Copies of this chain bind each other. A is one copy, B any other.
Amino acid sequence: MILNEIISIIRDSRHIAILPHVSADGDALGSCFALGLALRRLGKDVHVYLEEEVPYVYSFLPGQEAAKVYPVETIKNHDVIIALDTGDLGRLGKRADIFGSSPVTVNIDHHATNSAFAGYNHVDTASAAVGEIIYQMLMLMGVKMDKDISTCLYVAIAADTGGFRFSNTTSVTHRIAGDLINNGIDVADISRKVFDSTSLAKVQLMGLAIHSLELLENGKVAVITVTEEMMQQSGAADEDCDGLVNIGRNIRGVEVAVLIKQKGSEEFRINLRSNTYVDVSAIAARFSGGGHRRAAGCTLQGTWKDAGSRLLAQIRDVL
């Protein structure tokens, strides 16, 4: 079992580097910080190299003492380097070089598309989050879990399962979450920070987005439009558009939700979601986009009058 080999390697190493993917999310950061905390507890010299600063939402996570944004001059020689939640080398961004220069490389992930880019690859696609794999690894290593490690792992798992709501949530996910709660973590406080905390700009963008909401085709299609003016008016950042399309998708009776994001005068970024039967990836493909059956995207060129009516015609065809 490759996980046992990885554990042996870690036991025999002293200088260890841990890398999450670029634009690190809750699972990547929580897993890296938890592993870092545990290995430092075992007397290891551990560094977590990040591509970007930790986003505000995860700034409360313990274990960030050893974490820093990657600057070449700080990189020392490591006995082993471990990539977490990283599907392929490209997802390490500028840090792919550090990874390649390490004598021993490890890749621990749960993406089915993982390219097995390391010397030792443990890819468990049944795990909802890499946090689940790190939990099992620390159990196998006999690490005593504390509140800090447990908080990191809980956030990793909660983030990648949408708070135990996505279809990747298994009975193992819940059993691990239950064990972590027994280590004294503050579920209500963590949940509020991860799921409920938002910026004023994002709330105001949401208000403007709702104001733009239109229901078409007897309420089966919901369209939300975000203009550059709305972005300026709310002071929102690009990432604040994340999730806006779900406002439309969640309305009862809606099958297809569309988010139109204006980029300049004749370019429109389109997000598509469906609820039960429409394959939105097929619609996106007509416009050189892609995605999954229930979530896809594409970019339209031209005037909105023209581009929008072509898009709506495609949607109307499959309703």
Copies of this chain, how many? 2
Residues of chain B within 8 A (CB-CB) of A211 are 207, 211
Query: Does residue A206 face the partner (Cβ distance < 8 Å to B)?
Result: yes
**Size of the chain A interface, CB-CB below 8 angstroms:** 46
With A196-B250, A210-B204, A252-B198 already in contact, the answer to whether A181 and B170 are too (CB < 8 A) is yes
**Contact A251 B163, beta carbon cutoff 8 Å:** no
Query: Does residue A277 face the partner (Cβ distance < 8 Å to B)?
Result: no
Tell me if A's interface is mostly helix, strand, loop or mixed.
Answer: helix
> Which of A169, A204, A247 is the most central at the interface, judged by chain B CB atoms within 10 Å of its CB?
A169
Question: How far is the CB of A257 from the nearest CB of chain B, in Å?
Answer: 12
**Contact B251 A199, beta carbon cutoff 8 Å:** yes
The interface-forming segment of A15-23, A33-41, A80-88, A171-179 is: A171-179
Tell me the bound Cα distance from A213 to B194 in angstroms.
23
| Contacts of A114-168 to chain B: CB distance below 8 A | 162-167
Residues of chain B within 8 A (CB-CB) of A192 are 165, 250, 275
Residues of chain B within 8 A (CB-CB) of A175 are 174-175, 178
Query: Does residue A102 face the partner (Cβ distance < 8 Å to B)?
Result: no
With A164-B163, A188-B166, A213-B207 already in contact, the answer to whether A252 and B199 are too (CB < 8 A) is yes
> Which of A163, A206, A207 is the most central at the interface, judged by chain B CB atoms within 10 Å of its CB?
A207
Q: Which of B188, B200, B215, B275 contacts A200 (CB 8 A)?
A: B215
Q: Which of B165, B181, B203 contacts A210 (CB 8 A)?
A: B203
Query: Does residue A227 face the partner (Cβ distance < 8 Å to B)?
Result: no
Tell me the bound Cα distance from A22 to B3 in angstroms.
53
**Contact A198 B251, beta carbon cutoff 8 Å:** yes
Q: Mark A228-261, 1 if CB is under 8 A from B, else 0.
A: 0000000000000000001101111000000000
Residues of chain B within 8 A (CB-CB) of A8 are none
Query: Does residue A182 face the partner (Cβ distance < 8 Å to B)?
Result: yes
A interface with B by C-beta (< 8 Å):
56, 162-167, 169-175, 177-179, 181-182, 186-188, 191-192, 195-200, 203-204, 206-207, 210-211, 213, 215, 219, 246-247, 249-252, 275
Since A167-B186, A174-B181 are in contact, a sample of 10 more A-B pairs with Cβ atoms closer than 8 Å, ordered by chain A residue number, is A56-B252, A162-B191, A166-B187, A169-B181, A174-B174, A175-B175, A192-B250, A199-B252, A207-B210, A207-B211
Q: Which 9 A-B pairs have the closest CB atoms?
A: A207-B210, A174-B178, A171-B178, A165-B191, A167-B188, A174-B174, A196-B250, A174-B177, A171-B181
